[in-house]
Structure 1
Amino acid sequence: MTLRLLPLVTGGAVLCLCGCSSSSGAQSQPLFRHYHSRPDLRPPPIQILKRARDTAAGYIFIAPKKNVEQAGPLILDNRGRVVWFRPLDTHAVTDFRVQRYRGRPVLTWWQGRPDEGDGESGYSIYDDRYRLVAHVQPGNGLLGDIHEFKLTPHNTALMTFIRQVLVKGRRVLEGGFQELDIRTRRVLFEWHSIDHVRLVESYYHLPRNPDGLYDYFHINSIDVGQDGNFLVSARNTHTIYKIDRRSGRILWRLGGKRSDFNLGRAARFAWQHDARRLPNGNLTLFDNSAGPQVRKQSRGLVLRLDLAHRQATVVRSFVHTPPLVSVDQGNLQRLRNGDFLAGWGHQPRFTEFGPRGTIRFDGRFGHGRVDSYRAYRFRWTGLPIRPPAVAVAGGTLYASWNGATKVRKWRLLAGPAKNALRPITSVPKTGFETAIPLRGAAKWVAVQALDGRDRSLARSPTVRVT
């Protein structure tokens, strides 16, 4: 294997291009960011296409996967700079976001089995010190899938699953979901699509091979309404279902072949993801309208549901310029200030829209076949257990602290001996990694991370100047 490193961007992070050759010919690999102080981290590059203006507060949360040097949960600021990145031993990772567990904010995501060796898939919960709180899997021997891991105010988890069943001799992939008490691991509720939704409701084509697996339902989101009942999106039936919490009975269908609502032409959706009910009763979803394509472009959609007259009308539609078509994945998140953030799924993009559809922020990540199942914006405060990292190269000290959100400055410490350091200067933090020029004859250096009031948060290890 041969490796070429081409510096493309200077100032802390360096963008590198890996080329890999083998007997089968050259195969290009994705761009990634390189950090002197954390060479073990190689997140994909971020390109801000439209700078943030009047956006909601918080960071961007994505989980890049597929053709990336390292896959994993990634937090970004509005300038596209890394705040926190955790590379995983798998290229299967989805649905990275902030939720609340036992009254505290936590980070959650799904990850698949390791690319190499033994291990299991499942859902992870991490605290604000980036420590594992819980690893969760469905009960009753079921396997949780990539689509949803939603924590409730009752400290339970809603998880999607898939399962093979036989229907008249044909192998069918059904979808379902489960509510689990995280502490006791007791299953509180379980729902299977095959008990309530017939195969004829699907828009997915039957495999030509009778032995082929028929993915007729394809559950991809779960939400809980104000009445406690469930809201479920199924991609391959083009339908959103309201499901009774006690009986599992379908209370109504929105969209698809058996819709209980009339949908005007503009309100029709297809191959959708991420159905959510807003406090005012409106419903949001990501309308892929692709796979196969039925509209010119994918869109975020806000619908008003008239339950009395069973009518669904469009409140707002969010489309990208230039048009984007997402054949799978995607989400639409309503933000605290009334904006909406769209994750474009199959397309490696994220966009924040104002309430009237104006693009206020737009970004792209990775290079080539890269995507993130969803994208979010959340407020987050992190204080890692691990100390800051430092490295010295070419007369410069590089400092970083993966996941620390309160750092505003770095204080350089230097001296003739490892145990004889004194403060030299303080410099503003300039992104994930800050470059600090070294002057003088000091043989040992370290840094202190300072907050906005110049209080020390942590100190790095001491390293020798070579």
Structure 2
Amino acid sequence: MRLGPTSRTGWFVAVAIVAAAGASAAAQLAPREALGVPVPADMPRLVPSVNDKSAEGKLFIGTNSGPGYLLVFENDGTPYFYRQLASPTYDFKIQPAGVLSYWEGPPLNGWVTLDHAFAPIDTLRGTSQYETNHHGFQLLPDGHALFIVDEKRQRDMSEVVYGGYPDAVILGQHVQELDADGNLVMEWRSWDHFEITDTWQRLTSANIDYVHMNSVGVDFDGHIIVSSRHLNECTKFHRQTGEIIWRLGGKNNQFEFVNDPGMFSTQHDFRAVPGKPHHYTLFDNGVQHEPPRSRAVEYRLDLNAGTAEKVWEYVPEPFILSGTMGSVQRLPNSNTLINWAHPGLPKVTEVDPSGSVVYEADLDDSPKVYRAFRFPLAAVAPAPHLTVEPGPEGVHLVFERFGATDVDHYRVYGGDGRRAGDLIATTKERSIFLAPSDLSASALYSIKVTAIDEQGRESAESALHTFVNHFPGRGGNQIVNGSFSGGTDNWQLSVNDPARAQVIEHPEGGLAVEIEQGSESPWHVTLEQESLGLERDGEYELRFVASAETDYIMEVSIAGPCPPCVHYTDMGYLLLGPQPERFAHRFTMEKTTTFSAELHMLLGSAATTVYVDSVSLRRLDQQPTSVTGPSAPADAPGFEVAPAYPNPFNGSTRLAFALPEASLVNLAVYNMLGQLSLRLPEQRFSAGRHEIQLDKQLGGSGVYLLRLEAQSESGAKFVATRRTLMLH
């Protein structure tokens, strides 16, 4: 690796980075890898357990829990392509039209197509009067597209079933075909062909998803086939007239099942078998089987005889139950690829026609996967893909020009603010660690990367990544401007209708948020800071000082970007009063390492003014290397408050707690409006474990906050709030 000039330090050599980082940065200098390939810290890795004579092609996987990732792997688990998305994804595959596609959720909510250089082509949806559904989409060779779309209607279900809601909301699904210009050429509506009583869903619910269509495709003769999970039915209809040709399974089944008296239930991914007319595969979730079990199955339909013959199935031993999702793909060599969808179950099982497993693999963090596929792919990205991971002691860059076999080295460009015009490093590796001394002192810093091939030609530039230039050191405060001495720098106050709020001057320092109008949703006023790093299994402590002009309930959590809003820790409900109090919350990061966590302080529950100061987030299980921002005294060891038990309760409940030293203890109970419901007389407790019992003295049923405050003889003060639900 060779480092280039920066605007501050001129030329320097590789050893400067290592020396500046020091031994404590060793973990950051050794990035997460998948078979020697550097990958993002939160990217799932494929771990095969069987790798024998599989079909040709690469494995396509999209994750729809945790971080949303598009993933392409070689059989041994070597990454061929990856991309993190803003939300969970579904159905990443190569379409019959030859392009790649996947579903991207909010805020996009559409089907994204990519070329074979992984560059976006378009985002496709059904017509605007309906919501496009994420369960199925086909882009055909002639440019036509098949969509599943959703429509809600209100219906008086008391006219259909005793106990039905008079204003029930019914969710139906329709199939739309749009031509290459986006014109609607066919629409097939569930209302016109499926009765509400065809469903196995409960008809006395306020909301009824009566069809739950989860796949759409083209049969061998050009007509349309769909799977409807909540009908236990697969249906074929005429593409031009919309007339139903046959119904397989469910209450309106038209076939006698041969060799399969239990039929299928709650199925997914109904597909015509290529080259075998009247043969179909599906993933039988099998929730209604006795015992419940999932399988892949193939049927041959004889329309003259009216039979559905089971001609092949794969049922693992011991049984697997995958209650939702799942997929089956018949491969060109007659093998079958099966996805079992759920955490702890294989995401890819490939079996030969005899049912022998020739390939099996799971993702190491075992997220949910809606479908998995195998396709041949030879693609070269025009530019490197860049991941930027700021940590406590510097920033870690991971980059890869996917599919390129002639990369000689990479160039890293950086710069102040939102520009990256200075060459700051060249490297033959696919990752690099930059310490603070390698960057300028600018509050914001930007990075981009290019690839240089063996002929010396430079590729297109990666996307520009901008990050906060703040590296507190191991054990240091990750929160930037936690004392608000820089005003609202690095903080964002998010206000959504109908709430109204603004930041006002606070003469004693810290931050004051005036909530002029509250909302039923506290998140309508949120104070937040982004780009926080949490490492898996790390122990952390979040601290801050807060108060309010009136008794007030605030919620605090640390989560990933929304969507998908992965929660990492939650302090729950905190009761604020006029006197500033120091809150502390310790937690272990149990999910995959992330560098994009966000601190959320939800303030919008009512009108008042909230004061916040001295915010810090530190890792506790590492020796500090440097500290920035205000320090806070540690909690005395041994102070604990357990959740109320039993909870909910209708007679009495107990609050257990432990004290590190003799203390005066006050317990106050508040309702969800912040009003005082009960205050017990102050009591003195010795060091050790104790409990306080509460009987039916709180008032009416509902949720209550139990606020325990302890003042020790040495002057230390401890406060904790727990929630309980009282039932009459």
Partner secondary structure for residue 220 of structure 1: strand
> Hey, what's the Cα distance between the residues in 2 that align with 1:358 and 1:434?
40
Q: Please tell me whether the aligned partners of residues 128 and 381 of structure 1 are also in contact (alpha carbons under 8 angstroms).
A: yes
TM-score where L is the length of structure 2: 0.49
Q: Which AA in structure 2 matches 1:271?
A: T
Alpha-carbon distance, 1:273 to partner = 0.7
Alpha-carbon distance, 1:271 to partner = 0.4
Deviation per residue, 1:123-167 (Å, 9 max, x gap): 100111221111111114211111111111221111111211133
Partner of 1:355: 353
Partner of 1:438: none
Unaligned runs of 5+ in 1: 16-32, 114-118, 392-396, 436-445, 462-466
TM-score where L is the length of structure 1: 0.74
Partner of 1:271: 266
1:256 aligns with 2:250: yes
Q: Please tell me whether the aligned partners of residues 301 and 318 of structure 1 are also in contact (alpha carbons under 8 angstroms).
A: yes
> Hey, what's the Cα distance between the residues in 2 that align with 1:311 and 1:203?
23
Q: 1:176 to 1:413 in 2, by over 3 A?
A: closer
Q: Which of residues 108, 111, 117 in structure 2 aligns to 1:120?
A: 108
Q: Which AA in structure 2 matches 1:175?
A: Q
Q: Please tell me whether the aligned partners of residues 94 and 375 of structure 2 are also in contact (alpha carbons under 8 angstroms).
A: yes
Partner of 1:338: 334
Q: Which of residues 303, 306, 311 in structure 2 aligns to 1:315?
A: 311
Deviation per residue, 1:407-444 (Å, 9 max, x gap): 2x654699xxx99x99x9x9xx9xxx599xxxxxxxxx
Partner of 2:564: none
Unaligned runs of 5+ in 2: 1-23, 157-165, 389-395, 412-421, 433-449, 462-728
Q: 1:458 to 1:142 in 2, by over 3 A?
A: same
Q: Please tell me whether the aligned partners of residues 381 and 404 of structure 2 are also in contact (alpha carbons under 8 angstroms).
A: no
Alpha-carbon distance, 1:205 to partner = 2.2
Partner of 1:177: 175
Q: Please tell me whether the aligned partners of residues 170 and 207 of structure 2 are also in contact (alpha carbons under 8 angstroms).
A: yes
Partner of 1:439: none
> Hey, what's the Cα distance between the residues in 1 that align with 2:185 and 2:460?
46
- The equivalences for 1:18-167 within 5 A come to 39=40, 42-50=42-50, 52-66=51-65, 68=66, 70-90=67-87, 92-101=88-97, 105-113=98-106, 119-167=107-155
> Hey, what's the Cα distance between the residues in 2 that align with 1:457 and 1:376?
35
- The equivalences for 1:383-462 within 5 A come to 383-387=380-384, 401-402=400-401, 404-407=402-405, 411=408, 448=452
Alpha-carbon distance, 1:306 to partner = 1.1
Q: Which AA in structure 1 matches 2:359?
A: F
Partner secondary structure for residue 194 of structure 2: coil
Partner secondary structure for residue 371 of structure 2: coil
Alpha-carbon distance, 1:346 to partner = 3.0
Partner secondary structure for residue 375 of structure 1: strand
- The equivalences for 1:369-380 within 5 A come to 370-380=367-377
Deviation per residue, 1:355-398 (Å, 9 max, x gap): 11111111111436x2111000001121112147799xxxxx99
Q: 1:34 to 1:180 in 2, by over 3 A?
A: farther
> Hey, what's the Cα distance between the residues in 2 that align with 1:165 and 1:413?
56
> Hey, what's the Cα distance between the residues in 2 that align with 1:413 and 1:142?
46
Deviates more, 1:373-382 or 1:344-353: 344-353
Give RMSD over aligned pairs: 3.6
> Hey, what's the Cα distance between the residues in 1 that align with 2:222 and 2:377?
28
Q: Please tell me whether the aligned partners of residues 399 and 447 of structure 1 are also in contact (alpha carbons under 8 angstroms).
A: no
1:216 aligns with 2:210: yes
Partner secondary structure for residue 341 of structure 1: strand
> Hey, what's the Cα distance between the residues in 2 that align with 1:123 and 1:337?
29
1:198 aligns with 2:190: no
Q: Please tell me whether the aligned partners of residues 288 and 327 of structure 1 are also in contact (alpha carbons under 8 angstroms).
A: yes
> Hey, what's the Cα distance between the residues in 2 that align with 1:44 and 1:142?
34
Alpha-carbon distance, 1:257 to partner = 1.2
> Hey, what's the Cα distance between the residues in 1 that align with 2:134 and 2:350?
24
Alpha-carbon distance, 1:5 to partner = 11
Q: Please tell me whether the aligned partners of residues 171 and 209 of structure 2 are also in contact (alpha carbons under 8 angstroms).
A: yes
> Hey, what's the Cα distance between the residues in 2 that align with 1:318 and 1:457?
51
Partner secondary structure for residue 209 of structure 2: coil
1:288 aligns with 2:281: no
Q: Which AA in structure 2 matches 1:374?
A: R
Alpha-carbon distance, 1:459 to partner = 6.1
Partner of 2:323: 327
Partner of 2:238: 244
Q: 1:48 to 1:449 in 2, by over 3 A?
A: farther
Deviation per residue, 1:14-36 (Å, 9 max, x gap): 48xxxxxxxxxxxxxxxxx9976
Q: Which AA in structure 2 matches 1:261?
A: F
Partner secondary structure for residue 86 of structure 1: strand
Q: Which AA in structure 2 matches 1:133?
A: I
Partner secondary structure for residue 236 of structure 1: helix
Higher relative contact order (CA 8 A, sep 6+): 1
Partner of 1:24: none
Partner secondary structure for residue 112 of structure 2: strand
Partner secondary structure for residue 200 of structure 1: helix
Alpha-carbon distance, 1:315 to partner = 1.0
Q: Please tell me whether the aligned partners of residues 382 and 460 of structure 2 are also in contact (alpha carbons under 8 angstroms).
A: no
> Hey, what's the Cα distance between the residues in 2 that align with 1:6 and 1:314?
57
> Hey, what's the Cα distance between the residues in 2 that align with 1:346 and 1:390?
27
> Hey, what's the Cα distance between the residues in 2 that align with 1:434 and 1:352?
33
> Hey, what's the Cα distance between the residues in 2 that align with 1:324 and 1:457?
52
> Hey, what's the Cα distance between the residues in 1 that align with 2:130 and 2:360?
38
Query: Whose radius of gyration is greater, 1 or 2?
Result: 2
Partner secondary structure for residue 48 of structure 1: strand
Q: Please tell me whether the aligned partners of residues 330 and 373 of structure 1 are also in contact (alpha carbons under 8 angstroms).
A: yes
Partner secondary structure for residue 230 of structure 2: helix
Partner secondary structure for residue 226 of structure 1: coil
Alpha-carbon distance, 1:226 to partner = 2.2
Q: 1:164 to 1:459 in 2, by over 3 A?
A: closer
Q: Please tell me whether the aligned partners of residues 244 and 250 of structure 1 are also in contact (alpha carbons under 8 angstroms).
A: yes
> Hey, what's the Cα distance between the residues in 1 that align with 2:375 and 2:243?
34
> Hey, what's the Cα distance between the residues in 2 that align with 1:223 and 1:401?
35
Q: Which AA in structure 2 matches 1:44?
A: P
Alpha-carbon distance, 1:319 to partner = 2.1
Alpha-carbon distance, 1:97 to partner = 0.2
Q: Please tell me whether the aligned partners of residues 96 and 138 of structure 2 are also in contact (alpha carbons under 8 angstroms).
A: no
> Hey, what's the Cα distance between the residues in 2 that align with 1:141 and 1:362?
42
Partner secondary structure for residue 226 of structure 2: strand
Alpha-carbon distance, 1:111 to partner = 1.2
Q: Which AA in structure 1 matches 2:61?
A: I
Q: 1:390 to 1:274 in 2, by over 3 A?
A: closer
